[in-house]
Structure 1
Amino acid sequence: MAAKSTTASTDLSVLPEDNTAYGTKEYWQQRYMQEDASTFDWFKTYKDLEPLLSKHIGSKDVRILMLGCGNSTLSSDMYDDGYQNIINVDYSDVVIEQMRQRTQQQSGMTWEVMDVRALDLGDGSVDVAIDKGTLDALMCDKGDVWEPSAEMCENVAREVNEVDRVLIAGGKFIWITFGQPHFRRRHLERPSWELQIERLNDGGFDYFVYIATKKQAAPPTH
């Protein structure tokens, strides 16, 4: 059975007292055990994102990596719309097993326990990588948003560098976030890709979509 495409209301008991908990595996393990059969989507659902994803992904035959998939409905809804080669990764074995069970009939998808900062995937093995809220969780920090801590920057850089590594030339990293460019852009800039930013307005609240396209390798010189 496919995962439900409705978004569960937030149970306030699963919210942390300190937002830095969003960056810890322990918090998510406990939360997913509490939520069990629930689904939850940060920021946007596939219905909201479909025009943008269709524009930037193009072919539905591409191999998609869903980073920090959690119990979002995004992958399941994309699968039902024809994107059937999706690898979902999360460092919570609890949620990975839950999602495997819920999507048994969606046989083209795989669910793997994996840390987005150390992906067990080959170089150039993915066409598109999507992050919807995972980097934001890593960015929950006690420091000043203008001067984030070195530890936070390192964690974010590890994920972004891993995405850069596993993307094919011409592949795309798509990050959906509420983070404004003057806070977020610096974490994505790499000489290996071209970065563009789109804005989604939702009744006065802006979301941002960062699209990094990996450059083709330069031809060898003689």
Structure 2
Amino acid sequence: MVASTSLNVVPDDPTAYKTREYWEERYQNEDSGTTFDWFKTYDELKPLFDNHIRDKNAKILILGCGNSTLGEDMYKDGYRNITNIDYSKTVIDNMKERCGDTPGMTWLEMDIRDLKFEDRSFDIVIDKGTMDAILCNRGDVWEPSEELINEVKQEVDEVVRVLKVGGAFLYITFGQPHFRRRHLERDCWEVKITTMGEAFHYFFYSMVKQQ
């Protein structure tokens, strides 16, 4: 994780990361200018993004944006059609204010498991740690509950629906392939994995929709 001027708020129960209430309370107690980036910064991810996003005018959706600088950093790098969503109203309001001088950037309160977009609306969908929040659970990581499987399935199914044919889903996580691949596999794409880091590994999953 990479933090910048952020409160180090770690809940006693990791399943709190799955709840809207936790994030609302956290963002309400943070200064509106606070930033926090899970896992990797844009500069670290840029070489991988450049391989998958060839057009700076691509229509991009960032899932669970929080107060990460990812969207802003991509904007500074020339991307101009970015939609950021989060189900915390507080953080969306804060980000709208913080990024008021970035025409082409949109901030919407929305649940990633119920996207309010038309089919095949986006060229690129990015998840940087958001699925990991859903997967926070006290159960057996090798045998996740049906409820947990269904929650993640809702997210991935929605990504498939809103992606254009030829579009890519880019997912950044510390989740190892034997825990994550099962949730990502679909008939419409192949799951490709790039490992980042040395002592502690992060994983970049890329999936291009073929049909």
TM range (shorter): over 0.9
- Deviation sequence 1:84-103 (CA, Å, 0-9, x none): 10000000010000000000
Secondary structure, aligned partner of 2:24: helix
Secondary structure, aligned partner of 1:27: helix
Corresponding residue to 2:81 among 81, 85, 89: 85
Aligned position for 2:207:
212
**Alpha-carbon contact 1:141-1:149 (below 8 Å) kept:** no
Distance of 2:136 and 2:120 partners within structure 1? 29
Aligned position for 1:23:
18
- Deviation sequence 1:118-168 (CA, Å, 0-9, x none): 000000000000000100000001110100111111111000000000000
Residue 204 (structure 1) shift: 1.2
Letter of the 1:137 partner, please give it.
Answer: A
- Deviation sequence 1:25-56 (CA, Å, 0-9, x none): 00000011112321000000101101110111
- The alignment's C-alpha RMSD in Å is 1.2
Segments of 4+ in structure 1 off by > 4 A? none
Corresponding residue to 1:115 among 85, 103, 111: 111
**Alpha-carbon contact 2:6-2:35 (below 8 Å) kept:** no
Q: Confirm whether residue 60 of structure 1 aligns to residue 56 of structure 2.
A: yes
Letter of the 1:129 partner, please give it.
Answer: V
Aligned position for 1:182:
178
Residue 9 (structure 1) shift: 4.9
Secondary structure, aligned partner of 1:168: strand
Distance of 2:136 and 2:72 partners within structure 1? 27
Distance of 2:107 and 2:44 partners within structure 1? 24
Secondary structure, aligned partner of 1:129: strand
* TM value normalised by structure 1: 0.92
Distance of 1:169 and 1:139 partners within structure 2? 27
- Structure showing greater Rg: 1
Query: Which shifted more, 119-128 or 28-37?
Result: 28-37
Identity of aligned residues (%): 56
Aligned position for 1:71:
67
